Amino acid sequence: MRRSLVSLFALATLILASPAAHAWDYEGHRTVNRLALASLPKEMPDFLRTPEAATRIAFLSGEPDRWKSTAEPALRHLNPPDHFFDLEDLDAAGMPLSKLSEFRYVFTAQLAAARAAHPERFPSIDPDKNQDHTRELIGFLPWSIAESFAKLKAEFSYLKAYEEHGTPTEIANAKANIIYVMGVMGHYVGDAAQPLHTTKHHNGWVGENPGGYTTSRGFHAWIDGGFMLKTGGFPVAELTRRSKPAALLPSPAQPNGRSANFENVLAYLSEQHAKVEPLYQLEKNGAFTAGKADTAKGRAFLENQLLTAGQMLGRLWLTAWREAPPDTYLLSQLVQRKSTETSSAPKP
């Protein structure tokens, strides 16, 4: 599955050359990040409420898609799988969602072993169309979100330490790092709310098709933003009025030793995956055909997905802030530094 701001010709070439399409166009991703910011309670740090921070966080929502504009093999291999997760392929791999490892590389090894043991369960791969070696994968979107949350929590931790004993420059740098991670992670949370990023049917329905759903490879791009832009754009102000204040994420039971963070991310993806077929059914009924009277249903569906993404993102940001304790190791080092500076200072 799975746009970069390049010429239309380059954009079309990029989409055709990659198995990954994009979720939400640039304005859609900006909308998600802006909705998340609007949902934050007053307890969140004031530096996140400045116009400069809001502009930066909105801009960074498009960063992972901008990375797709490069032809560098290493990045072409690394980046696209972070944007999607084809849940149906877990069955072929014999890996139920309930037992999925929260460790990216453990999962990758398990998937490789499943492919080796049962190659007949997976579609064949054309080497000429797999120059980036991503077609062996089914995506890493859950890990992209969970790992971003962990990074943000760590950064809030060291910000709290620097605010106690750091310099103004250290504090400013810590805040800048937080803004960067918040903005970029918003992209992946937004991707997950576009149901086509959770399914093998990402560019039109594939395989058996008893529902008679569209097989158009342009369906994904149309849902990402084409339809919304053709029918009135992204109503940020209206969606902001409809959004709810962010609340802490729950701490669900973890029978498999997984973190609450990963459990919450998987639950979020599962909820969006359940909307894949309803999305296709809406398309079949004409809800995404611009100019038809019933397109209000199509817009309502996508607006709700944008709200869902903004809500989840705000909750992730808030939970990371609330759960982050001061970095005790860094605190000890800062205290030691201050003690050394004080003892070595010239006495009056």
Task: Give pLDDT tens digits for 36-58.
Answer: 999 999 999 999 999 999 999 99
- Would you say 272 and 192 are in contact if contact means Cβ atoms under 8 Å apart? yes
pLDDT at 253 (0 to 100):
67
Rounded Cα distance, 49 and 36, in Å: 12
Both tokens assigned to 316: 């992730």
Task: Write the CB contacts of 5 (distance below 8 Å, at least 6 apart in sequence).
Answer: 26, 62, 66
Rounded Cα distance, 246 and 241, in Å: 13
Residue 105 has pLDDT above 50, yes or no: yes
- Would you say 188 and 18 are in contact if contact means Cβ atoms under 8 Å apart? no
- Would you say 305 and 28 are in contact if contact means Cβ atoms under 8 Å apart? no
Rounded Cα distance, 22 and 196, in Å: 10
Residue 6 has pLDDT above 70, yes or no: no
pLDDT at 348 (0 to 100):
65
Angle at 131 between CA 129 and CA 136, to 5 degrees: 75
- Would you say 11 and 25 are in contact if contact means Cβ atoms under 8 Å apart? no
Give CA separation, 223 vs 106, 113, 129, 142, 169, in Å: 33, 35, 25, 21, 43
As a CATH number, domain 8-87+139-204+213-332 is 1.10.575
Residue 344 has pLDDT above 80, yes or no: no
Both tokens assigned to 292: 């038809």
pLDDT at 17 (0 to 100):
36
- Please state the rounded mean pLDDT for residues 261-271: 96
Burial per residue of 225-247, b for 16 or more beta-carbon CB atoms within 10 angstroms, e otherwise:
bbbbeebeebebeebbeebeebe
Both tokens assigned to 171: 């504090």
Confidence of residue 22 (pLDDT cuts 50, 70, 90): low
> Please, what is the average pLDDT of the chain?
91
> Backbone phi, then psi, for 189, in 5-degree steps?
-65, -40
Contacts of 118-125 with C-beta under 8 Å, sequence gap 24+, read 118/92, 118/94, 121/92, 121/93, 122/89, 122/92
Task: Give pLDDT tens digits for 192-244.
Answer: 999 999 999 999 999 999 999 999 999 999 999 999 999 999 999 999 999 99
- In 3D, which of 86, 110, 92 has the Cα closest to residue 100? 110
- Would you say 202 and 276 are in contact if contact means Cβ atoms under 8 Å apart? no
Task: Give pLDDT tens digits for 269-326.
Answer: 999 999 999 999 999 999 999 887 779 999 999 999 999 999 999 999 999 999 999 8
